[in-house]
Structure 1
Amino acid sequence: MRDAMHKRILYTAIALAFVLWYIMFVLRPFNFWAMMAFSTSLLSLVVLWIGKPFADRGEWSWSNLWLGVTSALLLYAIFWAGNQGLILMERVVPGLFADRPQNLAAIYGNRGELAPHWVALLLFFPVGFGEEFFWRGLVQKHFAGTLGRWRGFLIATFLYTAVHFATGNYVLLLAALTCGLFWGALYAWRGHLFPVLLSHMLWDPLIFVLFPIQ
């Protein structure tokens, strides 16, 4: 009975995430960062309510700390290389990614709604933390437990990417897919949430505020 209730809450929370992301990225009725902080905090509360994200004491280790830091740097390097690849392809085939500058401008334009240090702080917590806490710590963990590790990884990655579909921003979609695959695979391989949380919490301010890729 309890498992059935938790499953209903999980599916409702996933549907809620789609609604919240649509409101944030498309309707935009309020300050983007206030909405993002609220949404990720709300989803984090759902995890605390029905999940057990840190059941394994092995989470808290120096190796996981190191993995979180290095994986954040690795993902940044992947994005930098990917951006350079897109630029090169545009030079070879002019107009291939004609909307890329506008797509990037739409993503980074959100920075102007708040002072940079506040944006970086919110990206670290609750945004970066909350996204991983929910999508990997609850969604992927649930589906991995019911359907197997790698099926759970694929489903969570699809859902994590799909919440951005309504934006129509292919750069954002590609970024979400890349991040979902990277962090999802890291969680599936390692089985610990802490390094994935730390990776996301560090990567967000790194790429969005400190060293943006444009």
Structure 2
Amino acid sequence: MSDRRRPAGGRPDPVPGSPARRYPRPSREQLAAAADRLLPDLIAPGLDVLFVGINPGLWSAATGWHFARPGNRFWPALHRGGFTPRQLHPSEQDELPGLGLGITNMVARASARADELTAEELVEGARELAAKVARYRPRWVAVVGVTAYRIGFARPKAGFGPQPEPLSAARLWVLPNPSGLNAHFTPETLGAAFGELRAAVTAGG
């Protein structure tokens, strides 16, 4: 049995020196100040997969890290799906381009919830994403959130998985939203959805 101390919730304390311990949680004031802030893309030419979030949350805008809010399951799903050799902390996001991966967003401005975005913002974001993909030419584009994809790209019946139409020269895939608020997917089923994309990327499809 592990000798690491466990808090009341049953999870072990963060390992001393781990990213979770090194970086304190943003304060309420810092989170409030992050509204509408822009988060730089994590992108490079010729990536295997460019992941596309809906828009940055306040945690991400306050820290400068994509999918940074505790409870967001993007980083665990990325590992479960086979994209990373271990689960990365959001502060380690700069390791992704070396693995052929990048992150951008449909809408650049940060908000507390994705449902604060307007349809017009998502449509404009889809146009900007198409231009970005034409410039950087990733092999695959994975939109993380089917509702945002349906609205932004005017595909009201789109489902998860591979999409019939490309985006510029890239193949297009839609993944579930990894937010902790998305109760339709467990960590296991979310990881499996990421794993399906990983299999397609590996197969060269």
Q: Give the TM-score, by structure 1 length.
A: 0.32
Q: Name whichever structure is richer in helix by fraction.
A: 1
Q: Name whichever structure is richer in strand by fraction.
A: 2
